[in-house]
């Protein structure tokens, strides 16, 4: 076996990972690299020419060193500034982009979801800020999920969410309706989930009177709607 290069760790073939932490760190090592990635992804695939909304044509853009270290590229024709983070969830954030990118990495690489507490510990930020970041990333991913269709093999199943009715709540219900059976508990909402194998996930709350047929109908409708 050839000696492994410890400076360039490779993902093992047997690993289930599609994108390891090493690959993530190598691709996005600094705030500046993340910004450059956004610039190319959103405005300028070649990193130099982009559409200037003021000149209304493709122009050459330059990154000028400024005292305020502005996070923008400037049109060489008219001086218009383009901010790669404008209109994204990272806009006006006081934390480096690497924090945001790492949260996205955590969310997308975790199998069972991550908590705001986890983000708080990993980034060394306060709980409120961790929760805000996580919510923004989750909402963004959810919105992206809903724009595309489900395809290929899609698995559908439903489940009931929630636990037993709380004692206090049961007491109130019994006071209102003394004929309630002994083993009564409040109906729990049914959630229908659809998973595209190795792909997107959809979940929706079913109406209270849902039956097997109506869930089948909904799953059919949802998947055909998005196809
Ligand atoms: Zn311009």
**pLDDT single digits (tens) 69-96:** 778 999 999 999 999 999 999 998 889 9
Ligand 1 center to 86 CA (angstroms): 17
Distance CA 62, CA 44 (A): 11
Ligand 1 center to 73 CA (angstroms): 11
φ and ψ at residue 90, rounded to 5 degrees: -90, -10
**pLDDT single digits (tens) 164-213:** 788 888 889 889 988 888 888 777 788 888 888 777 777 777 777 666 66
- Give the HSE-up count for residue 32: Cα atoms under 13 Å, Cβ half-sphere: 3
Ligand 1 center to 31 CA (angstroms): 26
Ligand 1 center to 204 CA (angstroms): 46
**pLDDT single digits (tens) 36-58:** 999 999 999 999 999 999 999 99
81: region left, alpha or beta (phi > 0 left; psi from -120 to 50 alpha): beta
Distance CA 207, CA 190 (A): 8
Q: Tokens 């929630």 — which residue?
A: 162
Q: Which helix (H) or strand (E) holds 168?
A: helix 167-176
Sequence-separated contacts (24+) of 50-59 with Cβ below 8 Å: 50/82, 52/77, 52/78, 52/80, 52/82, 53/80, 54/78, 54/80, 55/80
Ligand 1 center to 77 CA (angstroms): 5
Helix axes 97-109, 31-42, angle to 10 degrees: 80
Distance CA 176, CA 171 (A): 9
């Amino acid at each position: 076996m050839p000696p492994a290069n410890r400076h360039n760790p490779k993902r093992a073939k047997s690993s289930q990972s599609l994108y390891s932490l090493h690959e993530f760190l190598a691709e996005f090592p600094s705030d500046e690299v993340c910004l450059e990635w956004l610039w190319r992804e959103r405005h300028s695939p070649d990193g130099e020419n982009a559409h200037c909304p003021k000149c209304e044509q493709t122009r050459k853009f330059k990154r000028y060193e400024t005292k305020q270290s502005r996070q923008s590229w400037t049109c060489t024709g008219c001086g218009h500034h383009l901010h790669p983070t404008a209109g994204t969830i990272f806009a006006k954030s006081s934390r480096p982009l690497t924090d945001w990118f790492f949260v996205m990495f955590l969310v997308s690489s975790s199998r069972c979801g991550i908590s705001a507490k986890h983000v708080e510990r990993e980034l060394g930020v306060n709980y409120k800020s961790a929760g805000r970041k996580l919510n923004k990333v989750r909402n963004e991913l959810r919105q992206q999920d809903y724009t595309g269709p489900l395809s290929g093999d899609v698995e559908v199943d439903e489940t009931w969410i929630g636990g037993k009715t709380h004692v206090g709540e049961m007491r109130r219900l019994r006071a209102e309706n003394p004929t309630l059976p002994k083993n009564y508990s409040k109906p729990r909402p049914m959630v229908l989930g659809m998973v595209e194998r190795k792909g997107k996930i959809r979940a929706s709350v079913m109406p209270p009177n849902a039956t097997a047929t109506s869930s089948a109908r909904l799953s059919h409708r949802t998947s055909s709607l998005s196809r």
